[in-house]
């Protein structure tokens, strides 16, 4: 087989593999809960890599979207960064107070508790610079989206446990959380 033929075969295989991933990756499952099945798809346009989600005009009080948040306790910043609340009831947070090597991304699950009100259970892991698990954190938030849909506020509670998750190793921290919706353009 010539060098040109081998390049063609490799390129064709890569294209077929990519098409297979798109074809068979059409459903997403969150945390094994089959009640939250949603089709996954890319809504790209020829001139842009990512599709900006729109605020549902019929539900401007939706929590779904990207938010810039800040949590404080006793006047001190506990954490800040970005949170993405997804329509399937999952959430991901990028912590501005943690170095990437120690785990600055963590995940949670949320539910709507009333019009404009939401409860989040979030589970950060604390690791050292060598990647060794030091603690498990349980972060809970109860927040309300403002009438204009552009901010939310509420309270958070944070409990820290040993690596097994059974023994509490620090006092509970509570305080206010505020956030502003991040709009892209």
- Kindly state whether residue 54 falls inside one of the protein's structural domains: no
The tens digit of pLDDT for each residue in 64-93 reads: 999 999 999 999 999 999 999 999 999 999
Considering the domain architecture, whether residues 69 and 33 belong to the same structural domain is answered as no
What residues make up the domain containing 22?
3-39
Label residue 172 by pLDDT band (50, 70, 90).
very high
Would you state the pLDDT for residue 153?
98
CATH number at residue 132: 2.40.128.120
Considering the domain architecture, whether residues 172 and 100 belong to the same structural domain is answered as yes
Considering the domain architecture, whether residues 70 and 131 belong to the same structural domain is answered as yes
Would you state the pLDDT for residue 81?
97
Pair 160, 55: CB distance under 8 Å? no
Considering the domain architecture, whether residues 89 and 123 belong to the same structural domain is answered as yes
User: CA–CA separation, 135 vs 137, rounded Å?
Assistant: 7
Considering the domain architecture, whether residues 155 and 120 belong to the same structural domain is answered as yes
- Kindly state whether residue 166 falls inside one of the protein's structural domains: yes
- Kindly state whether residue 48 falls inside one of the protein's structural domains: no
Considering the domain architecture, whether residues 127 and 167 belong to the same structural domain is answered as yes
Considering the domain architecture, whether residues 100 and 158 belong to the same structural domain is answered as yes
Domain count, the chain: 2
Would you state the pLDDT for residue 109?
96
- Kindly state whether residue 73 falls inside one of the protein's structural domains: yes
Q: What secondary structure letter does DSSP report for 55?
A: P
- Asked if residue 120 has pLDDT above 60, the reply is yes
User: CA–CA separation, 172 vs 71, rounded Å?
Assistant: 14
Considering the domain architecture, whether residues 114 and 72 belong to the same structural domain is answered as yes
- Kindly state whether residue 60 falls inside one of the protein's structural domains: no
User: CA–CA separation, 74 vs 23, rounded Å?
Assistant: 51
Averaged pLDDT, 97-105: 89
Label residue 127 by pLDDT band (50, 70, 90).
very high
Helix (H), strand (E) counts: the chain: 1, 11
């Amino acid at each position: 087989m010539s060098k040109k033929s081998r390049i063609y075969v490799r390129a064709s295989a890569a294209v077929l593999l990519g098409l297979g991933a798109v074809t068979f990756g059409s459903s997403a499952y969150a945390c094994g809960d089959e009640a939250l099945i949603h089709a996954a798809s890319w809504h790209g346009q020829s001139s842009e890599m990512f599709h900006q989600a729109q605020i549902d005009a019929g539900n401007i009080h939706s929590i779904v979207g990207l938010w810039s948040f800040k949590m404080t306790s006793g006047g001190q910043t506990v954490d800040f960064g970005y949170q993405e609340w997804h329509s399937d009831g999952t959430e991901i947070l990028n912590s501005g107070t943690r170095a990437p090597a120690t785990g600055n991304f963590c995940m949670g699950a949320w539910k709507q508790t009333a019009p404009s009100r939401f409860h989040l259970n979030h589970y950060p892991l604390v690791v050292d610079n060598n990647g060794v698990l030091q603690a498990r954190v349980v972060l809970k938030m109860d927040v309300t989206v403002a009438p204009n849909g552009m901010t939310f506020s509420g309270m958070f509670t944070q409990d820290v446990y040993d690596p097994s998750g059974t023994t509490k190793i620090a006092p509970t921290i509570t305080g206010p959380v505020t956030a502003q919706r991040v709009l892209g353009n």
